[in-house]
Every structure is written in structure tokens, then in C-alpha cells.
């Protein structure tokens, strides 16, 4: 008797009804009036096989063995029932209740059950193997790998799927032999690959080799093969391996090697010692350059921070160590310090030490990398230059001061000669020329002394007092007009002109600027001097038409020993030492002000001096 499962909307089993009967079962059902559905058997006097038992057999696959009792019209019968699960239902056998037959039937059913279990296990294993193969294929594809195998029995190489695409070759081009595979390997690496495979076949164990392949698109890729060979006795019988595309890794390593080589060469060229500090352990590693730079042996290439600290100069040890501690505790990106470091021979090296921090994901400093540059020779050169410059300026200052006495004697003698009535007009002109030349020399000496004061004393000294700039300007205009009677100086005042300044020094500034304008400006055009009031600031402008100052000269115009202006007209001579504009700038800066220049063909040249009202507040 075959029973078909009746399912509900959700697929659950609600009942079983017979779907097919053999001849004996037909007589059984007809004679005893057995209903088609199992759920109605109890109502019709069929007991011993309930619906729940049938559902349990179908759900678990455990065979049913029970006694079926029937009663109808006063008659009773008893049968031995055996039920097993089928694909869509159950199969029931009704037997006469013989103990021997029942035991044999149970054995038969148990053997069938075991066979079914083994078949289902094999099917599940096949499905699991198929899933594992698919997972391996996906893993190899994502990891850019292929697997290969060689066996002595087949004498051929078997590749995993998509191997041709992996090596950038045409489909089915790899073949199953070593020569077919070597055809895609670059010529320079073929002998190395062939030799590596021969060595792997000769020795039982692991192997590894690296090679390059040329793809059809012309690119070259790096590959790394690793695997295992297996031997039976002295003969290889199997070889398996995996090949990975390591192109990106090789390129990254090549780039890193190039960068390291450049860094080493740069360090050698700049006489730097590269260092790497592990902040967690305090260990510091130096590169080999320290042996040449500081003279320590190779043992000193790996040391702790305490070793480095002990070799700092005592005068700088605390400050340098503190600056390093402060830096590692801060958020700054770079650290720098200059200090003296003890060489192995006992001498001191001046070094410029620089470093950067590396932080972990939480922002904590874990590593510091930097370089130490030996700047001893540079420091010595700068010290020598400073000493020489100071000596020159002191010498010039002393020379300028000592020249004043004979120069004063020349000036007084020339004036005395001019006052004598007995000399001729020619002698008068000669005495006047001597006096003018002495005055020009006196101006040069004053400029030299001002240069010395500016360089050695930190600026030109001032005698600040209440002053009126309009009065100072008028005085300068009158003096220069007397010297240049054929030139016109236009003077204009706008607003107040009083302040706290050094009037004599400002007269020196204006005399320089207006004198330059008269000398270098157009000879047929006036020079304009303007005094402007800007509340807390006083502005003075000196403008002259004429050829502009060449642009390259503007950047260095206020440097000492520079000549202002454009090329002179033929027959006009330069005068002075080129200190005038330098002294102008120093005097203005001493007042806390600024001086600027602009020059063009259209507007001529204008020097602008800006002064605060109170020079006492100027920084010294």
C-alpha cells in the first residue's frame, strides 16, 4: 500500500491517503472497509497506526513497525505493519504476525535504511566537494593565482581554469607540457624556470621560484611559484603548486629600493646621518654614515636615547632634550635643533638635527625618523665671515674718525686762504675747490661712520625731540637751492607736520633724497617735495621726472655701496660711496618708519617716507 502525503498551504503534512494498492491490499481495503485517509482509520476501527506516527516516519525517515488491529461487524484481525518513507509519501506492508518474519523484515529495512543513508551521504559529499571547488576557484581568481599539477602517470601538466588569461595568453595556448608553458616566459628567465623545475623534481620537498611572463598586450608581469614535489623511492610521481601574480609587489619593492638608494646617496652628498627611533623602547638605529661623520664603531649604530643624550654638549643638553620631549608630546609635524655633538675622538661637531613623527591609529607617537647634518665647517665659515666683517667695519669706523682731524685742518686752511684779500681770483677758485672737496670728503666720512654704527651698534642712534617737519624740509630746500641755483624745487605742505623726531637725522634723509632727485632726474624738470598729514603718520614724498630706475636695481637699491638711478647722461659723474640710500633706510627704520620707491617712464621716480608721530615708541 502506497500513501501519498497531503500538504497544507505552508507545505506542512496534514494527512496521508492511499494512492496505489497491490492485489492483496485491494482485498484488504475492501474486506475491512479501510478509509482512504489515515486520519479516519481510528473512526472505522483501524487501530495501531495513527496519523502522528506516519508523519514522524515521513519527517525522520525512521521505519515504522507496529501491530495493526481491525474490527468490523464483530470480527477482529491483527496484522504486522512495516512502513518506510518514500519520496512523496509512505509505503506500508501488512504481514501476518510471525516473529521470525518480523525480525527478518526489520533487518531488511535496516539494511535499506543504511544503504539510503550512505547514498545520501555520498550525494552530500559530492555537493560539498563541488561547493569547495567553486570556493577555491573564486579564491584563486580574487587572489590572482592559478594551481597546477603534474603526475608521472599522465606525464602532463594540468592547470586550473582561466590559466591562459592569468598569464595573458591566448585560450588553450599553455598546453600540458613544460615547453608550451616556457613559451610565454621571457627569454631571460626560461633557463632559470626550467632549471628550477628540474631541481624540484630531483629532490622531494618544497620549492619556490620567481619569473616574468610577456603578455599578448606587450606588458611584462612578475610571478612567484611555490609548491611541493612528492617521490616514491627516488622517482618523482607527483608535483603540485600555485602561481601568484606578484607584479604590484615587485614594482612597489623596486620603487622602495630606488627611494632608499636616492636617500642614501642624498645623505652621503649632504654628510647626513640617518636615524630611526622606536619611541616605545627608546632604541635608536643609525645608518653607516655615522662612522665617517662621528667616528664611532658599528656597535654604536644601535643605541638608546640615553647614549645620545650623554654626548650632547653640557651647555645644550637640557634644552635639546627638553625640546625633543616637548615635540613628541605635541601635535607638530617636524622637529629641528642645532647643537654640539661629541665625536669619538673627543672633538665637538656642530650638527643640525631634524626629525618627523609617525603615529598609530589613535594618534600616539610610535616612531621618529630623521637626519643629523654636520654643519661644523659652515659654522666656522660663518664665524670667520662675521669676524672679518666686524674687523672691516671697525677699521673703517676708526679710519673715518681719524680722518676728520686732517680734514678739518684742510677745510679751515682753505677758508682762511679765501678770506685773505691779497690772493688772486685763480687762487680764490682753488681755495673754494679745496673747501668743497673737503666738505664732500666730510660727507663720505659721516656716511662711513653711520654705516659702522648701523652694523655694529644695532642701528643709528637718535636724539628725539619735538620737531616740525615742514621747517626741516624748508631748510633742506634752501640749502640745496643755493648749491643748484639753476634748478627748481617745488615744496608743498598738506596738514600738520609736527612730531617727536630727530630733526638733524631727518634733514640728512631729505638732503639725500632731494639731492639724488636733482642729480638723477631730468635737468629741465622741477623736483617735487611734499609733506602729507595722515593723522598718526607723517608722509614725505620726493618725486622727480626722468628716466626710471631699472627694475633689477630696485630690489637692492637700499643696500650699502649701491648707486641709485639709471645710467647717467654723458659727462655726468657719480659721487659718494653708494651709502646714501642705505643710511636713509637705517634712519627711517630707527624712527619706526618705512621708505619705499616706485619708478616708471610715465610717472618718474618717487621715494615715499612714512614716519610715526612719536619715534620714541619705535622698537630698538
Q: Is the pLDDT of residue 604 over 90?
A: yes
Q: What is the pLDDT of residues 44-78, one digit of tens each?
A: 888 888 889 888 888 888 888 888 888 877 777 78
Residue 618 pLDDT level (bands cut at 50, 70, 90): confident
Q: Domain boundaries in the chain?
A: 2-97, 143-245, 252-374, 381-456, 465-617
CA distance 468 to 472: 7
Q: What is the pLDDT of residues 257-310, one digit of tens each?
A: 888 787 777 666 666 888 999 998 989 998 877 888 888 988 888 899 999 999
Q: Is the pLDDT of residue 225 over 60?
A: yes
Shortest CA distance to 308 belongs to which of 334, 277, 271?
277
The arithmetic mean of pLDDT across residues 171-195, rounded, is 87
529 within 8 A of 492, measured Cβ to Cβ: yes
Please, where are the H alpha helices in 493-604?
503-520, 551-554, 580-590
The arithmetic mean of pLDDT across residues 27-52, rounded, is 86
Could you tell me which CATH number the domain at 143-245 has? Answer: 3.30.450.20
Residue 540, pLDDT score: 96
Q: Is the pLDDT of residue 392 over 60?
A: yes
Residue 426, pLDDT score: 82
Strand partners, 597: 607
Mean pLDDT of all residues belonging to the chain: 83
The topology under which CATH files domain 381-456 is Helix Hairpins (1.10.287)
- Strands (DSSP E) contained in 319-443 are 334-342, 348-359, 365-374
Shortest CA distance to 557 belongs to which of 577, 579, 572?
579
- For the whole model, what pTM was predicted? 0.39
Residue 484 pLDDT level (bands cut at 50, 70, 90): confident
Residue 176's alpha-carbon distances to 142, 166, 182, 208, 243, in angstroms, are 24, 16, 11, 20, 16
Q: What is the pLDDT of residues 560-579, one digit of tens each?
A: 776 654 444 444 444 556 77
Which top CATH class is 465-617? alpha beta
Cell of 279: 619611541
Could you tell me which CATH number the domain at 252-374 has? Answer: 3.30.450.20
Q: Is the pLDDT of residue 97 over 90?
A: no
Residue 311 pLDDT level (bands cut at 50, 70, 90): very high
CA distance 175 to 149: 13
Shortest CA distance to 289 belongs to which of 278, 305, 277, 300?
300
Judge whether 143-245 and 381-456 match in fold: no
Amino acid at each position: 500500500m502506497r500513501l501519498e502525503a497531503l500538504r497544507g498551504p505552508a507545505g506542512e503534512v496534514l494527512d496521508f491517503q492511499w494512492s496505489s494498492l497491490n492485489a492483496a491490499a485491494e482485498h484488504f481495503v475492501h474486506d475491512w472497509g479501510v478509509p482512504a485517509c489515515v486520519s479516519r482509520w481510528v473512526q472505522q476501527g483501524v487501530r495501531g497506526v495513527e496519523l502522528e506516527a506516519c508523519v514522524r516516519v515521513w519527517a525522520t525517515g525512521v521505519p515504522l513497525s507496529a501491530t495493526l488491529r481491525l474490527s468490523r461487524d464483530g470480527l477482529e484481525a491483527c496484522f504486522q505493519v512495516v512502513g518506510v518513507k518514500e519520496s512523496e509519501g509512505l509505503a506500508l506492508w501488512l504481514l501476518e504476525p510471525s516473529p521470525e518474519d518480523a525480525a527478518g523484515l526489520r533487518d531488511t529495512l535496516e539494511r535499506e535504511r543504511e544503504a539510503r543513508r550512505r547514498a545520501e551521504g555520498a550525494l552530500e559529499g559530492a555537493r560539498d566537494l563541488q561547493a569547495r571547488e567553486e570556493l577555491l576557484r573564486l579564491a584563486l581568481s580574487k587572489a590572482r593565482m592559478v594551481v597546477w599539477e603534474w603526475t608521472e602517470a599522465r606525464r602532463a601538466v594540468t592547470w586550473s581554469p582561466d590559466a591562459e588569461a592569468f598569464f595573458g595568453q591566448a585560450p588553450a595556448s599553455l598546453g600540458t607540457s613544460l615547453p608550451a608553458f616556457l613559451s610565454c616566459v621571457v627569454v631571460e628567465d626560461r633557463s632559470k624556470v626550467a632549471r628550477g623545475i628540474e631541481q624540484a623534481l630531483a629532490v622531494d620537498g618544497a620549492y619556490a621560484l620567481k619569473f616574468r611572463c610577456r603578455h599578448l598586450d606587450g606588458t611584462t608581469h612578475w610571478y612567484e611559484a611555490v609548491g611541493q614535489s612528492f617521490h616514491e623511492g627516488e622517482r618523482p610521481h607527483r608535483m603540485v603548486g600555485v602561481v601568484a601574480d606578484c607584479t604590484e609587489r615587485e614594482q612597489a619593492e623596486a620603487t622602495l629600493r630606488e627611494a632608499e638608494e636616492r636617500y642614501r646617496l642624498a645623505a652621503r652628498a649632504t654628510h647626513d646621518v640617518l636615524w630611526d627611533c622606536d619611541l616605545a623602547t627608546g632604541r635608536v638605529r643609525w645608518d653607516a654614515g655615522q662612522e665617517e661623520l662621528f667616528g664611532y664603531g658599528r656597535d654604536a649604530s644601535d643605541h638608546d636615547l640615553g647614549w645620545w643624550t650623554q654626548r650632547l654638549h653640557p651647555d645644550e643638553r637640557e634644552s635639546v632634550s627638553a625640546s625633543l620631549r616637548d615635540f613628541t608630546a605635541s601635535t607638530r609635524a617636524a622637529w629641528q635643533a642645532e647643537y654640539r655633538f661629541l665625536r669619538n675622538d673627543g672633538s665637538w661637531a656642530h650638527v643640525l638635527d631634524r626629525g618627523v613623527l609617525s603615529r598609530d591609529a589613535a594618534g600616539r607617537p610610535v616612531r621618529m625618523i630623521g637626519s643629523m647634518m654636520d654643519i661644523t665647517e659652515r659654522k666656522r665659515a660663518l664665524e670667520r665671515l662675521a669676524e672679518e666683517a666686524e674687523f672691516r667695519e671697525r677699521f673703517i669706523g676708526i679710519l673715518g674718525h681719524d680722518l676728520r682731524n686732517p680734514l678739518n685742518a684742510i677745510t679751515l686752511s682753505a677758508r682762511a686762504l679765501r678770506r685773505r684779500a691779497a690772493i688772486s681770483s685763480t687762487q680764490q677758485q682753488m681755495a673754494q675747490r679745496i673747501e668743497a672737496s673737503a666738505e664732500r670728503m666730510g660727507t663720505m666720512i659721516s656716511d662711513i661712520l653711520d654705516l659702522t654704527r648701523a652694523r655694529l651698534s644695532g642701528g643709528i642712534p637718535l636724539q628725539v625731540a619735538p620737531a616740525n617737519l615742514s621747517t626741516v624740509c624748508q631748510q633742506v630746500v634752501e640749502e640745496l637751492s643755493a648749491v643748484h641755483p639753476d634748478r627748481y624745487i617745488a615744496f608743498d605742505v598738506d596738514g600738520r607736520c609736527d612730531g617727536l623726531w630727530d630733526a638733524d637725522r631727518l634733514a640728512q634723509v631729505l638732503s639725500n633724497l632731494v639731492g639724488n632727485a636733482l642729480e638723477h632726474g631730468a635737468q629741465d624738470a622741477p623736483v617735487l617735495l611734499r609733506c602729507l598729514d595722515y593723522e598718526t603718520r607723517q608722509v614725505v614724498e620726493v618725486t622727480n621726472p626722468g628716466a626710471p630706475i631699472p627694475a633689477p636695481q630696485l630690489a637692492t637699491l637700499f643696500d650699502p655701496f649701491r648707486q641709485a638711478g639709471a645710467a647717467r647722461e654723458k659727462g655726468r659723474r657719480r659721487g659718494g660711496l653708494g651709502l646714501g640710500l642705505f643710511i636713509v633706510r637705517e634712519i627711517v627704520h630707527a624712527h619706526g618708519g618705512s621708505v619705499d620707491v616706485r619708478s616708471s617712464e610715465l610717472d618718474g621716480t618717487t621715494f615715499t617716507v612714512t614716519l610715526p608721530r612719536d619715534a620714541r615708541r619705535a622698537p630698538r
